[in-house]
Chain A
Amino acid sequence: MATLSPTIRVQQTDQGGGGTAPPIPGGGGDGGRGDGYPDHGQRLRRLRLALAIGLTSVTMIFISLTSAYIVRRGLPTFDDHTGTYIQDWIPVQLPLALLLINTALLAASSLTAELARRQIIRQAALAPVRSIPGVSLGRESGFPWLALTVVLGFGFLTGQWLAWRELADRGFYLATSASSSFVYLLTAVHGVHLIGGILVLLYAAVVSLLHRPVEGRRIVVDVTAWYWHFMFGLWLGIFALLWFVR
């Protein structure tokens, strides 16, 4: 099957890494690959587009869970003791104070993510100037917004976990009632998405330690920050659903 992927004779470049990135224009690599790429604007636009598309499917997941929630909540169920139809939906006693604190944490992390995003845009814009020998721009305020975002993100997740413990203490387990099943499920699915975001932020932080070009990092941070904002909005939606449609 030597014809599967023919190798054409083209000029070898010294880019290394197997040289699997396709050429410009229109080419692209996944985040992290292809630094040294000339067209960062294009890559940024492409990743933002991909993010919007990806978030569409995340939205569909939550729309389907929400509609399942509403349908299930309205269903009467047959009761074997009385032989009649009853409502088995027990409103969950949510630990409201704790959840409000968590919400505040996530709001703060969304803010710091935004500051990190703007900070790195500034750095990227100044990078060419900075690289001119003899030009000094003074010290850039290197406040670790990114790290703070990660810490706040972990804080939120810990808070959610505490909320689960609190729910269990109040007698609401996963299978107690469909209502509590949904509380655990929605928070868990949201949490998994947040963990994904944290992993990418950690990746961006590690990359920044490696002194990779700021442009590539900027793209990662930018896209993740938008993702993070979305996760914050999503949490507000979930919280509102769980609270107002108990």
Chain B
Amino acid sequence: MISLRGVRKWFGSQLVLNGVDLEIPTGEITAIIGPSGEGKSVLLKHMIGLLRPDSGSVQVDGEEITSLGRGGLNRVREKFGMLFQNAALFDSLTVFDNVAFPLQEKTKLTDAEIAQRVREALLHVGLSGVDAKYPDQLSGGMKKRVGLARALLMDPRIILFDEPTTGLDPVMGRGIHHMIKETHAKFGYTAVVVSHEIPEIFDIADRVAVLYRGSIVASGTPEEIKSSSDPMVRQFISGSLEGPIQLEGTMRDEEGFRPV
């Protein structure tokens, strides 16, 4: 279980997370949704210790990670796999080496075994024949899928997906959702999925949390969120222009919430 309590994070004078309270139950798929630029990626990075909160606590399986040093963090990170929003592939390594890298560095498998597992992982995300390409020779969606293969490969117990299907065509997006659901059923890992795919994400998530203006404004089962009476949540999942969420620059300033 990952639990965040009162997590606040400033970047300079911008308050991005303003007291986030969130529980990620073990073995379930939790989706985090919310408007662009609200801090979903920042929130994920707090869960794996890439960012430290200015105040508040982040616990992974009961262990406080905000105060851990490098050694302790590495021990906790052994449990994690992460897909970055921009995939964050190693751009001087080929696709094959990108996926093989953690295996080469952290296991004692032979080259043949590694090759075997890398091929399988790539096939699983629908990629073949791109082993020898470099990341800058791939399309955005292909990079995403290589990143996905890399995140799944070490059989982590917790996987953080930052927009796994953004940039994919609808069929492929559905395929990836299906794959997450399927591997989750098989391995039972804890998944946190940041996503803009509404309503598709409701089909795979066990729980949904909505991040808005620096805190979790609603959370619950997909049904609860879909039938929420909160005007912000209603507007967000229907994608309407009318409602409390206004496009940048039209309302933000009068609220005085974000000191700039």
Decide whether A and B are members of one complex: no
- Name A residues whose Cβ lies closer than 8 Å to a Cβ of B: none
